[in-house]
Amino acid sequence: MDKKSMLNYFKPGIIHFMAFPQTMKGDSEDIEETVKAIVNDSYFHAVEISWIKDKKTAQKVKELVAQSGITMAYAAQPRLLTTGQNLNSLNEEERLQALENMKEGIDEAYEMNACGFAFLSGKYDEKKLSEHMDALKKSVLEMCRYAKSKGDMPILLEVFDYDVDKKSLIGPAKRAAEFACEMSNHTDNFGLLADLSHIPLLHETIEESLLPIKDYLKHVHIGNAVIKPECEAYGDAHPRFGFPNSENSVYELRAFLKCLFDIGFLKECPIEDRPIVSFEVKPWKDEDPFAVIASSKRTLDLAWSML
């Protein structure tokens, strides 16, 4: 493949609260310093942050990102995962509580000048699948309308596993594509987010995961997973590439990148239009986060060199 630098095709990014998991609940004293470490690393052209409960810290992070010249995206998944809230709950009071949480996140994302807002669907009962889909549609349409009333920030639903760990409604690629198609009939600021880490957990090949959603794919995460129940880091733990008994390393990342080119997600475009491709890697137990980050960068460099 005749290619230029990866910077011609996408913005390499990293999910801050996964690389530094102590910050996931939004109240860690380490938030400012760990964001500073990312923005001072010239490898990264994007950073994904989540809620920051202290307003002064949020303002400092906003200033750091602006000074560094990189792009910020907002990941609302921790707002749902750490609270147990569910946008497709069949209990209307619970659904509305989750929806209000997302609206607060959208407000924060706009305040932080984020370029996009990502979230996930919740747990579901297979016997009541259509009811859960209707509930999710109501929630997401309201989120899209709310976001559009304030600007042009896209609302991105991440495709998670449906029967292993998070057990989210969205879910297998076919269901994700059907939902995105339905949403596109009602709003123009919705899209999907695919994660290499989740593909093994979805029991799908890379092509099976990406081809059905190619017309709705707006954002990508890259990482790893362990799918053997008896092994360490089983489930949606996002261990580093090449972790023992895991599924993704250099060759799988290469295949993933190639498929992103094949479906047209990666292509030469104006620099301001480049999509974000972010590492979603988490130190396992007492692993050093900076070593894990460095390993991720080497893995991407090698995978890119093999395209």
Give pLDDT tens digits along the chain (307 positions).
Answer: 557 899 999 999 999 999 999 999 999 999 999 999 999 999 999 999 999 999 999 999 999 999 999 999 999 999 999 999 999 999 999 999 999 999 999 999 999 999 999 999 999 999 999 999 999 999 999 999 999 999 999 999 999 999 999 999 999 999 999 999 999 999 999 999 999 999 999 999 999 999 999 999 999 999 999 999 999 999 999 999 999 999 999 999 999 999 999 999 999 999 999 999 999 999 999 999 999 999 999 999 999 999 9
Residue 78 lies in a domain: yes
Residue 113 lies in a domain: yes
pTM, entire model? 0.97
Residue 124 lies in a domain: yes
Residue 108 lies in a domain: yes
- Cis previous bond, 171, omega within 30: yes
Residue 1 lies in a domain: no
| Residue at 135: amino acid letter | A
CA 72 from centre of chain: 13
Number of domains in the chain: 1
Q: What are phi and psi of 218, to 5 degrees?
A: -120, -15
Residue 187 lies in a domain: yes
| CATH code for the domain of 275 | 3.20.20.150
Residue 177 lies in a domain: yes
Residues contacting 301, CB < 8 A, separation 6+: none
Query: 82: domain range?
Result: 6-305
